[in-house]
Amino acid sequence: MTETDGGTDTGVSDTGVSDTGVSDSGGGDAATDTGTPTCDLSAGEERRIGGTTAGGRFSPGSDQIAIVTFEGFSATGLEVLDLCGDSVSEIATGDSPRPYIAWSSDAATLYYSNADGVSMVPAAGGTPAAVVADARSMDLSPDGTTIVYADGGDLFTWDIAGGAATDLTQRGTFPRYNAEGTLIAFADGGMLRVLTVSDGTIADITSLDSAAFQPLDWFSNGDLAIVSSTGIERVDMSGTVTNIATVSAAQDIDISPDDSTLAYRINGMLPTILLGL
C-alpha cells in the first residue's frame, strides 16, 4: 500500500485518484483535483490513478475501471476503482495478473490473463477460477460466451460453455471485440486488421509502426484507438488516422464504452492516466 491523496496510509489501497499534475504525458491539460468526479472529465482534462498500475479496462457502464496493481516490478493483484466515487475494491491478490482484462456485460465478473492463461473472478471479489490455459492477450465477447486470445503468435477462440478452442488466425495479437461482438480487431506484424466473426474474412485497415504492438480498442462508432510512435491515434475503417494524444511510449490503452475517457499509461511502470475526450 502507498499513500493516498491525504498523505496517510489508509490500509485500503494505493490506487486512489491523484491530485497531482501529469507532466510527462503531453496529452492534455495538467491533471488537478478540482473536486470533479473522475467520471466527468472534460475534454483534454487528465487525472491519474495513484500507485503503479497497468492494463486499465473500463466497466460496461463506464463508471468503474479494473487495473493490475504492482509492488516494484511484480504484478500483485487486481483492483476496481469507482470512477465517480473514487472508492477502491481489492479483487484478487497474489495471482500475478498480466495487463489484459475484460468485464462481463453485467459487470459481475472479470476475466484476466496470468502466467497460467485466463482466469475469472467475481468483480466484487472472490476466488479466481481458471478458464483457459496458455493464453496471453485476450478479450471476452460482449455476449459472454467466447474468449478470443493470443497464444504463440496465433489467435484462438474459446467456447466458455463447451470448453473447446478453435483456431482463428495463424498470426495475431492484442485481439479486441467491437461492442456488437461482430468484429475482432488485432495486430498482425506491421498491420492493423479486422476479422468479421460471421465468416472469418479479414480486412487490412492500416499499417502499424513498431510502437503499435500494444493493446488496442474500439470507439462505439466503429473507429479504433491504437498506439503509434508519436502518440495515441484514432483510425476509421478506411484507414484514416487522427491523433488523440501526443505522448511518448504509451501502453495499455482503453476507451470507455461511452467514448468519454481514454485510459493509458506511459512505459516505465507509471500510474494509469485518464484523459477526457
Across the range 240-247, mean pLDDT stands at: 93
pLDDT of residue 147: 97
With cut-offs at 50, 70 and 90, classify the pLDDT of residue 269.
low
Across the range 207-230, mean pLDDT stands at: 88
Check pLDDT > 80 for residue 162.
yes
CATH code for the structural domain at 41-276: 2.120.10.30
Highest mean pLDDT among 27-31, 130-134, 258-262: 258-262
Percent residues over pLDDT 90 in the chain: 54
Nearest to 4 by CA among 91, 94, 81: 81
Check pLDDT > 50 for residue 160.
yes
Nearest to 174 by CA among 153, 160, 159, 200: 153
pLDDT of residue 27: 37
Check pLDDT > 90 for residue 197.
yes
Lowest mean pLDDT among 58-72, 82-96, 118-132: 82-96
C-alpha to C-alpha distance for 28 and 134, rounded to whole angstroms: 38
Strand pairing class (217-218; 224-228): antiparallel
Backbone angles phi, psi at 128, to 5 degrees: -65, 150
Residue 29 or 115, more confident: 115
C-alpha to C-alpha distance for 136 and 97, rounded to whole angstroms: 10
Residue 91 or 198, more confident: 198
Check pLDDT > 70 for residue 163.
yes
For the chain, domain boundaries: 41-276
C-alpha to C-alpha distance for 147 and 108, rounded to whole angstroms: 16
- DSSP secondary-structure letter at 75? E
Across the range 242-268, mean pLDDT stands at: 91
Q: pLDDT of 52-72, one tens digit each?
A: 888 899 999 999 999 998 887
C-alpha to C-alpha distance for 39 and 240, rounded to whole angstroms: 29
